[in-house]
Structure 1
């Protein structure tokens, strides 16, 4: 049994202290969805402190409470928000600007074909170029400015990134506690259930963005 599955909370509530009588309700039988989708409750001895507090430059999780420490990644990228770190791979020349060509090369480098890489670059830049612009005028080259990457956050996502580009460990862990029964991996249909569960009403762009991103992940790793 995985560590996350062991840490799932009780159906009606949980206590993370010494007083078992102090129960924080996390679900009610009158609302089945609150029973089906359980929030993530950190263990008493967890090294991930204050999981609900957003981290500006650290992608902290239960398994990696100090973020990505391999090759001193967190130290080298301390000047970037976690969302900026997320897209840093595409910034080939490290100038803080991602061109459609940069995105095409990035997708092609991780194994996508030419056609899909072109489609991905087109969809991403047609939607994200103007929101990240530093001017009121559109960029004719459809470039993305990383300094304003937080403006690309759309509805219907997991909430792991907040509106300022910070990383929220609680929301990340709840992807698995709510939709994958606490496992460290997710099936295709659980991913579909997650997309449905995270949707916001009348948010067409959010629905499309979340679905597109998940399809890319399935195409690349399955």
Structure 2
């Protein structure tokens, strides 16, 4: 546990009286229960409740950002084609319209960024190995520019915006998060962030209308997509055998 005397050193203050926003969006000042939370993690997505990342999750040597998108690489060949994105959206429960829109936006907007050459892919494919090149602005900065996961930044989502409950975000708090992370003159990044969080909320909100911390962490490392697909398949099997 961090020494409170040390934390109370004015030189370490996280609040500036002349900048009210610094008190409105507080950051974590004490030990998170994670060794070196400021160090970006390449392979796992740890938080205070899961200091070793998702239990039993096989990261396959991929970065956390690569893990986030790998679910949509349906044949595991390192390339995500538009139809695979569509299949992935359908596999986790999105309807035809949202799945089509997600496919068009994701592959249409991000394909070129991930290619190895200056030539675009005629099939609008995404290369998983280069997915870090598709990281956009106006985001939470939980992923660094190389696609690693920064535990400290992830915890800040909740210290700054979880005003109702410490481990869940309401729809209003999700909106506040997206608005607060907007960068100037970045319409693409801000719209992409809004789409991503809107899809996450619509898919994962609980019965009380909240997005839980564990669900959000599962989105960052992609583990929750596999869990949702498994549950849906199991439900279908039970329904067909009834």
TM-score normalised per structure 2: 0.79
Q: What is the CA distance between 1:218 and its match in structure 2?
A: 2.3
Q: Does 1:121 align with 2:108?
A: no
Q: Does 1:16 align with 2:2?
A: yes
User: What is the alpha-carbon distance in structure 2 between the residues aligned to residue 164 and residue 111 of structure 1?
Assistant: 30
Give the alignment partner of residue 53 of structure 1, picking from 39, 43, 49.
Answer: 39
Q: What is the CA distance between 1:153 and its match in structure 2?
A: 0.7
User: What is the alpha-carbon distance in structure 1 between the residues aligned to residue 5 and residue 186 of structure 2?
Assistant: 43
User: What do you get for the CA RMSD once the two structures are aligned?
Assistant: 1.6
SS of 2:196's equivalent in the other structure is helix
Q: What is the CA distance between 1:66 and its match in structure 2?
A: 0.6
Give the alignment partner of residue 108 of structure 1, picking from 77, 90, 94.
Answer: 90
Q: Whose helix fraction is larger, Structure 1's or Structure 2's? A: 2
Question: What whole-Å deviation, never above 9, does each CA across 1:4-29 have from its counterpart, x for those lacking one?
Answer: xxxxxxxxxxx921635635201022
**Match of 2:132?**
150
**Match of 2:189?**
206
**Match of 1:195?**
178
**Match of 2:218?**
none
**Match of 1:217?**
200
Structure 1's consecutive aligned runs of 4 or more residues displaced over 6 angstroms after TM superposition are none
Question: What whole-Å deviation, never above 9, does each CA across 1:39-73 have from its counterpart, x for those lacking one?
Answer: 12343xx5301111101111111111111122xx2
TM-score normalised per structure 1: 0.86
User: Gapped runs of 5+ residues in structure 2?
Assistant: 206-242
User: What is the alpha-carbon distance in structure 2 between the residues aligned to residue 129 and residue 211 of structure 1?
Assistant: 19
**Match of 1:27?**
15
SS of 2:71's equivalent in the other structure is helix
